[in-house]
């Protein structure tokens, strides 16, 4: 069975790019440009927010503090310049047709202007963090760069409120919010510049497949809570929006070199520049390091509680370093009218990572992750089209079965969105449409047939400003798919800003998670043990003729989606511009869970099946099914206290509770999450850099996912990171994860984790 990529789907991307260049020209508007500098050392301040008050027009300063805002209609404006750690500046100016106003700023240090921090992902438009109709976690560029040495993106969120992050291997992470985590978790949608990072067969994120280093990321916004009304399938518990730094904001050549424990080495060369309205960036690099994973053949388990039959592995783990070698390029075009087009692409080759799955650990020997993206944004319209493939250059190996596996897939998606205002800007509207194509084949190793599926979505949102301090929002999305029935996802919210910098909100959401290809079409027979694994939609399993000890078939072959209905209330407040406090409470009803692999859960298959002529018959059959209803509630409290311009203290607590109302008798339905977590930290900043220490405490909890079931003992993680500017051109960063070297595991069936210290030197010229 051959897997073939339909090449014609790649052709429209560059055509759309150059078409957008042709339609975006405009010369009737003006522009504002200049440099933002620190008033003490006269150095440029990077990543400053510069916006024209009362409009959607704005920009961010580049690494040298330069900025430009194009496409400004003639008239008088107030320019607002804000950055964390500096006083906000405002300036009146007049823009003439076809002219550019030059305006430089010198920012004075002060307590953080928290009321000016802007977010986008909660409602697909820029708005103040305190007024967002959702719980939002923000990781800024400085925090990313300080911790980037380790190369592990999920760890940037580890100590934040409401984040349920567990680690197994070097890059095998599962990031979730609000309960019911799992190995291969996909209840959190992860987007990088609008491109879904999930794999096709399992839906989970392959975190070591990035084609740029973490230093190229400008911001992470994590919207906690259901988000299908705007984002569609799998925005079940939240959406992580990651944005990269545009080339114009990172001009110059930079060389990164890093090393650390577990034989870690990394390197990256980036060159970026701007020529008129064109700008570009090229990255080439890689990272390599030994894994935490250990060989488990002959029942050589790292800790107690493993099942000696199900969890014993028949194939030795390859202990060579986990590697990622990548290259990427990006070209931007900034129109005179303020619009921007982007054409970019890259490829990563990943090797040797170990992933915990429902049928046991799987090691990725060598896989390629090529991708391409084109986008246009301007005049209220935006379009993004992307294609992402995954090809096994060498078969993956199932350590539990010894079988070679393939996951060859291509995902292509286009999404268009238009936003506009009505009624003297009191009514803001967003409408959008998306379409996705999926081609996937496993060469008969994981499912019998090659699949060609498609999904479409249509969505809209209306936000009405009732008064200066009260706004209401409604949104809805309709999704169709060849894999599941049509879905309708509504959302409603109201936000009351009862004082300057203080707001309360109430939010209602419905969302869904679609079954992945494993849950639908998996078909694996263990070559050495009396075990077989089936997806719900496998028809007439080959050779299966008898039923022993199981229930009779008769249930529908179709598998529906997991559903969640959630009610939230929240508060965000800034006190004396030094204390930022958030409190978010929620109550949710979850239904139609797709169970983890289990015995006897699916009435279509017997608990044991007879295969004529099979020496391992009868086989115990593991499968999936929709079952269960759960009520859950939680509270997330976070506090940031800016003692001075140099000291920041953080603390948070997350509380979670659940009640199982209905479940399948043969399924273990637990949230794989503790009933509370504690986190916090402290950051000290000075003119040459900063130092950050963070802590996370997780009490004991139980874990059940596929063939791995057991307790997770309590653990505490203390991390340390620092950035120091040695010269104007050279910066050193240090990241130490688990600095106390507390040996622990976070997934039952996952690896023992210890300390990992890394250091990176960056030289820019």
Instruction: Please give the structure tokens belonging to residue 747.
Output: 């997934």
CA–CA separation, 555 and 605 (whole Å): 10
Average pLDDT value for residue range 579-601: 92
Structure confidence at residue 604 as a pLDDT band (50, 70, 90): confident
Q: What is the pLDDT of residue 671?
A: 93
Q: What is the pLDDT of residue 122?
A: 78
20 has pLDDT over 70: no
The CATH number for 27-110, chosen from 3.40.50.150, 2.60.40.1120, 2.40.50.140, 1.10.10.10, is: 2.60.40.1120
Q: What is the pLDDT of residue 557?
A: 57
Alpha carbon 262 to its chain's center: 26
* Per-position b or e across 413-432, b if 16+ CB within 10 A of its CB: bbbebebeeeeeeeebebeb
2 has pLDDT over 70: no
Among 31, 42, 94, 83, which residue's Cα sits nearest to residue 60? 83
**pTM, rounded to two decimals:** 0.87
758 has pLDDT over 70: yes
Q: What is the pLDDT of residue 7?
A: 35
Residue 18: strand, helix, or coil:
helix
744 or 556, which is more confident: 744
Q: Which residue has the tokens 């719980």?
A: 135
Tell me the per-residue pLDDT of 431-441, one tens digit each, with 9 for 90 and over.
999 999 999 99
Structure confidence at residue 606 as a pLDDT band (50, 70, 90): confident
Ordered alpha helix ranges (H), 482-620:
517-521
Average pLDDT value for residue range 716-735: 94
Q: What is the pLDDT of residue 476?
A: 97
Among 264, 226, 222, 257, which residue's Cα sits nearest to residue 243? 222
The CATH number for 116-764, chosen from 2.40.170.20, 3.40.50.300, 2.40.160.40, 2.60.40.2550, is: 2.40.170.20
The domain ranges of the chain are 27-110, 116-764
Q: What is the pLDDT of residue 90?
A: 87
Structure confidence at residue 686 as a pLDDT band (50, 70, 90): confident
294 has pLDDT over 80: yes
18 has pLDDT over 60: no
CA–CA separation, 338 and 654 (whole Å): 42
Among 207, 218, 141, 214, which residue's Cα sits nearest to residue 174? 207
Tell me the per-residue pLDDT of 368-426, one tens digit each, with 9 for 90 and over.
999 999 999 988 899 999 999 999 999 999 999 999 999 999 999 999 999 999 998 89
555 has pLDDT over 90: no
HSE-CB at 144 with a 13 A cutoff on CA atoms is 20
Tell me the per-residue pLDDT of 147-180, one tens digit each, with 9 for 90 and over.
999 999 999 999 999 999 999 989 999 999 998 9
Average pLDDT value for residue range 551-572: 80
Average pLDDT value for residue range 60-72: 86
583 has pLDDT over 60: yes
Average pLDDT value for residue range 188-205: 93
Q: What is the pLDDT of residue 53?
A: 86
Average pLDDT value for residue range 676-698: 94
693 has pLDDT over 80: yes
Tell me the per-residue pLDDT of 324-345, one tens digit each, with 9 for 90 and over.
999 999 999 988 777 889 999 9
Structure confidence at residue 27 as a pLDDT band (50, 70, 90): low
Average pLDDT value for residue range 554-561: 68
- Poorest-confidence range of 37-51, 123-137, 715-729? 37-51
Average pLDDT value for residue range 498-514: 94
What average pLDDT is seen over the chain?
89
Task: State the Cα angle at 19 between 15 and 23, rounded to 5°.
Answer: 175
Backbone angles phi, psi at 257, to 5 degrees: -135, 130
């Amino acid at each position: 069975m051959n897997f073939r990529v339909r090449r014609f789907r790649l052709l429209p991307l560059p055509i759309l790019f150059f078409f957008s260049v042709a339609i975006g020209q405009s010369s009737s508007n003006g522009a504002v440009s200049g440099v933002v500098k620190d008033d003490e050392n006269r150095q440029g301040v990077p990543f400053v927010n510069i916006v024209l008050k009362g409009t959607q027009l704005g920009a961010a300063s580049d690494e040298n503090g330069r900025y430009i805002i194009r496409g400004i209609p003639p008239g008088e404006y107030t320019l607002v310049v804000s950055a964390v750690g500096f006083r906000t500046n405002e300036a009146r100016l007049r823009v003439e047709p076809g002219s550019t106003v030059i305006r430089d700023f010198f920012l004075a240090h002060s307590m953080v202007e928290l009321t000016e921090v802007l977010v986008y992902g909660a409602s697909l438009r820029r708005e103040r963090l305190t007024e967002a109709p959702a719980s939002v976690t923000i990781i800024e560029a400085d925090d990313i760069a300080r911790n980037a040495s380790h190369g592990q993106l999920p760890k940037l969120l580890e100590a934040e409120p409401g984040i349920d992050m567990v680690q197994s291997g070097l890059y095998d992470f599962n990031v979730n919010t609000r309960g019911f985590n799992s190995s291969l978790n996909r209840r959190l949608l992860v987007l990088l510049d609008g491109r879904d990072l999930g794999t096709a067969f399992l839906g989970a994120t392959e975190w070591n497949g990035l084609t740029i280093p973490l230093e190229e990321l400008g911001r992470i916004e994590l919207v906690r809570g259901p988000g299908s009304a705007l984002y569609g399938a799998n925005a079940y518990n939240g959406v992580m929006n990651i944005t990269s730094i545009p080339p114009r904001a990172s001009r110059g050549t930079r060389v990164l070199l890093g090393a650390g424990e577990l034989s870690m080495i990394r390197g990256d060369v980036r060159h970026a520049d701007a020529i008129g309205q064109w700008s570009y960036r090229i990255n080439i690099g890689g990272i390599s390091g030994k894994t935490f994973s250990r060989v488990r053949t002959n029942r050589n388990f790292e800790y107690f509680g493993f099942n000696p039959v199900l969890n014993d592995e028949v194939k030795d783990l390859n202990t060579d370093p986990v590697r990622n070698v990548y290259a990427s390029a990006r070209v931007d075009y900034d129109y005179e009218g303020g619009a921007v087009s982007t054409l970019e692409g890259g490829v990563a080759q990943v090797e040797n990572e170990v992933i915990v799955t429902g049928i046991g650990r799987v090691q990725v020997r060598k896989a390629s992750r090529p991708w391409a993206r084109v986008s246009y944004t301007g005049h209220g319209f935006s379009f993004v089209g992307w294609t992402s493939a995954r090809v096994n250059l060498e078969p993956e190996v199932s350590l539990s079965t010894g079988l070679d596996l393939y996951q060859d897939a291509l995902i292509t998606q286009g999404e268009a969105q238009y936003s506009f205002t009505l009624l003297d800007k009191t009514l803001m509207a967003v409408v959008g449409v998306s379409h996705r194509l999926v081609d996937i084949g496993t060469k008969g190793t994981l499912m019998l047939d090659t699949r060609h599926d498609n999904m479409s979505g249509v969505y809209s949102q209306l936000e009405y400003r009732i008064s200066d301090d009260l706004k209401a929002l409604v949104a809805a999305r309709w999704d169709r798919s060849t894999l599941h029935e049509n879905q309708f996802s509504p959302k409603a919210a109201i936000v009351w800003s009862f004082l300057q910098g203080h707001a309360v909100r109430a939010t209602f959401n419905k969302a869904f998670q679609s079954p992945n290809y494993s849950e639908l079409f998996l078909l694996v027979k263990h070559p050495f043990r009396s075990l077989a694994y089936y997806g719900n939609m496998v028809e007439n399993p080959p050779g299966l003729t008898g039923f022993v000890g199981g229930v009779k078939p008769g249930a529908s072959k179709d598998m529906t989606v997991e559903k969640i209905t959630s009610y939230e209330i929240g508060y965000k407040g800034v006190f004396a511009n030094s204390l930022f406090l958030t409190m978010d409470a929620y109550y949710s009803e979850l239904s139609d869970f797709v169970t983890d692999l289990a015995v006897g859960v699916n009435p279509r298959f017997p608990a044991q099946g007879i295969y004529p002529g099979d020496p391992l018959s009868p086989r115990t059959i593991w499968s999936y099914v929709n079952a269960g209803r759960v009520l859950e509630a939680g509270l997330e409290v976070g506090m940031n206290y800016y003692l001075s311009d140099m000291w920041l203290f953080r603390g948070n607590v997350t509380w979670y509770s659940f009640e199982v109302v209905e479940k399948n008798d043969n399924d273990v339905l637990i949230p794989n999450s503790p009933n509370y977590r504690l986190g916090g930290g402290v950051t000290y900043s000075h003119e040459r850099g900063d130092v950050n220490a963070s802590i996370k405490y997780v009490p004991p909890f139980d874990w059940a996912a596929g063939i791995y079931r057991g307790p997770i003992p309590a653990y505490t993680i203390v991390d340390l990171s620092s950035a120091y500017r040695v010269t104007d051109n050279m910066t050193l960063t240090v990241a130490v994860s688990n600095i106390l070297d507390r040996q622990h595991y976070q997934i039952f069936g996952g690896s023992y984790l210890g300390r990992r210290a890394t250091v990176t030197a960056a030289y820019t010229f």
